[in-house]
A = this chain, B = another copy of it.
Amino acid sequence: MAQNPASTRPDASRRSERSRRAIYEAALALVGEVGYPRTTVEGIAARAGVGKQTIYRWWSSKADVLLEAFLDLSAQAAEQAADGGAEYAIPDTGDLAADLKAVLRATVDELHDPRFEAPARALAAEGVVNEQLGREFVATLLAPQLQLYVRRLRAAQDAGQVRPDVDPRIALELFVSPLAQRWLQRTGPITHAYTDTLVDYALGGLAPR
């Protein structure tokens, strides 16, 4: 992400893998322990046993470090989940409501995982205010996730379970965005029951039949 512009770019082939990993771990640990604002580049460097310059050589800011660290963490988690199998999609059992509920329940659990909580919040917050990072965050993490819902909804449309004139990209927001907002802004509790309800409301609509 976000490289220093031209000037005298460092030689990536000679980069220390050891330092990179140590920096990721230190950054995630610190954000988890003391929070994002009190996480400092200096602190990350010290904890990683690394010179500050090594951080500044490869990243442009602590937000940038954290973004990559979190990306790496997500990639690892994903790899673990798929167990090398790769396939990455929302299951399609034929029952759209059930499939969505299952995925959203998993998301709820993830949002409660303290390993993800702190860095995810920090990045989301930074992204709200820092457009460049925000777009990167969305493009690399959020958009791919949302795309999975798009695919699943298209399949449902093909199966006649969702009206064909519905735009899946918008439709998915009916159940994804409420969850997102409750998490980001703490406007309400996040439970399995809640996401189940969202799916029911969204698929069935609010008006009486």
Contact A163 B128 (CB under 8 A): no
A 11-32 to B, binary, CB cutoff 8 A, 1 in contact else 0: 0000000000000000000000
Give the docked Cα–Cα distance between A166 and B143 (Å): 30
Taking the nearest CB of chain B, how far is it from the CB of A143, in angstroms? 8
Contact B185 A181 (CB under 8 A): no
Q: Is A34 an interface residue when CB atoms closer than 8 A count as contact?
A: no
Give the docked Cα–Cα distance between A167 and B173 (Å): 18
Q: Which of A127, A129, A163 has the most CB of B within 10 A?
A: A129
Question: Which residues of A (159-200) have their CB < 8 Å from a CB of B?
Answer: 160-163, 166-167, 169-171, 173-174, 176-178, 180-182, 184-188, 194, 197-198
Chain A's interface size range is 35 or more
Question: Which of the residues B160, B187, B201 comes within 8 Å of A171, measured between beta carbons?
Answer: B201
Contact A134 B186 (CB under 8 A): yes
Taking the nearest CB of chain B, how far is it from the CB of A179, in angstroms? 8
Give the docked Cα–Cα distance between A202 and B146 (Å): 19
Query: Binding site of A, secondary structure by majority: helix, strand, loop or mixed?
Result: helix
A residues in contact (CB < 8 Å) with B: 35-37, 121-122, 124-131, 134-135, 137-138, 142-143, 146, 160-163, 166-167, 169-171, 173-174, 176-178, 180-182, 184-188, 194, 197-198, 201-209
Known: A125-B129, A204-B207. 17 other contacts (CB 8 A): A35-B129, A124-B128, A124-B185, A127-B186, A128-B184, A131-B186, A138-B186, A160-B208, A161-B208, A166-B206, A170-B197, A174-B178, A174-B198, A178-B178, A180-B181, A180-B185, A201-B202
26 cross-chain CB contacts under 8 A: A121-B129, A122-B129, A127-B186, A128-B128, A128-B185, A134-B185, A138-B185, A138-B186, A142-B185, A143-B187, A161-B208, A163-B207, A166-B201, A166-B206, A169-B188, A170-B178, A170-B201, A173-B182, A177-B178, A177-B181, A178-B178, A184-B184, A201-B205, A202-B206, A203-B206, A205-B206
